[in-house]
Amino acid sequence: MERKVNRIYLASEPDTIHFLQVAWEKTLGSGFVITLTDGQSAWTGTVCESEISQEADDMAMEKEKYVDELRKALVSGAGPTDTYKFNFSKESCHFSFEKNLKDVSFRLGSFNLEKVANPAEVIRELICRCLDTIAENQAKNEHLQKENERLLRDWNDVQGRFEKCVSAKEALETDLYKRFILVLNEKKAKIRSLNKLLNEVQELEKNIEHKRETPTCSEMTTDRDAIYDESTDEESEIPPNPSVLSPATVRRDDSIISSPDVTDIAPTRKRRQRMQKNLGTEPKMASQENRLQEKEKYLLST
């Protein structure tokens, strides 16, 4: 049987402490035994399940809700002290209790008790029950304390492992970072060397192209000079076509040639024209030769 002892104050005797014990077999709703004492006298009574159901019907409440209210009032002592009001008449041995809601109060239940002939036995039993409850609570506290100490040791162990894991993680990260830096520096050095080699190859290709272009320019200049010289020789070698000359030119040439006192000026004019052409081309050829010589020196030096 489960027992609960609660301390209450009666409305008729607010300065006197009364002890209320409630005991039940299965559940509080299946019936319980109530015992009330002031330390000198004792009263007891039994409340059956039918009486609990009748009280719930009178209050228009569900039985589960009514039983919950009984537990709060008689067993748990939940809520402020002024939430529940207890009344007991020693003459009629009538016990009742009410619940206060602001300015309104309603009766939760009332029971008829009987005075115990030997209250000392009831009080002794009540004291023994209180001592047993204290011993049980103390044993529970000791067990909980031991459990807390075990959990604390486990927690310290877990914390130590966690710190070791954190240290190992940091060491691993540091090692990986150092390796990464080494690999990164090697890759950077390789990229720099490849970039330098690429620049050298591009510079070499540019020099080769420049060397190829220089002879081509000199050949083109030589070809132009050759063509220019050939055209001058052809002009000197090609005889004038009489059929192309105009009549005025023919008459003038005939008069000049037929005159015995005037020398033929045609060869002199051709030589003068050739000398003028040579004078005009010599500086060009000299400048081109100078440029060719400078390019050859540059190529030989590179």
For 294, the token pair is: 């400078």
Q: Distance between CA 103 and CA 91 in Å, rounded?
A: 29
pLDDT per residue as tens digits for the range 174-218: 999 999 999 999 999 999 999 999 999 999 988 888 888 776 656
Q: What's the topology of domain 2-117?
A: Dna Repair Protein Xrcc4; Chain: A, domain 1 (2.170.210)
Q: Distance between CA 22 and CA 67 in Å, rounded?
A: 13
Taking alpha carbons only, the member of 87, 126, 94 closest to residue 6 is 126
Q: Would the pLDDT of 285 be above 60?
A: no
- CA distances 62 to 49, 69, 105, 109, Å, are 14, 11, 19, 14
The residue extents of the domains of the chain are 2-117, 118-189
Residue 40 has φ and ψ, to the nearest 5°, of -120, -45
| pLDDT average, residue stretch 245-270 | 46
Q: Distance between CA 31 and CA 213 in Å, rounded?
A: 121
Q: Distance between CA 35 and CA 198 in Å, rounded?
A: 106
pLDDT per residue as tens digits for the range 26-50: 888 888 888 888 888 889 888 888 8
pLDDT number for residue 112: 87
pLDDT per residue as tens digits for the range 53-106: 888 888 888 888 888 888 888 887 644 556 788 888 888 888 888 888 777 777
pLDDT band at residue 10 under the 50/70/90 scheme: confident
Q: Which amino acid is at 102?
A: K
pLDDT number for residue 218: 60
pLDDT number for residue 275: 53
pLDDT per residue as tens digits for the range 140-168: 999 999 999 999 999 999 999 999 999 99
Q: pTM score, two decimals?
A: 0.48
- CA distances 203 to 191, 223, 301, Å, are 18, 30, 16
- CA distances 158 to 150, 155, 163, 172, 281, Å, are 12, 5, 9, 21, 102
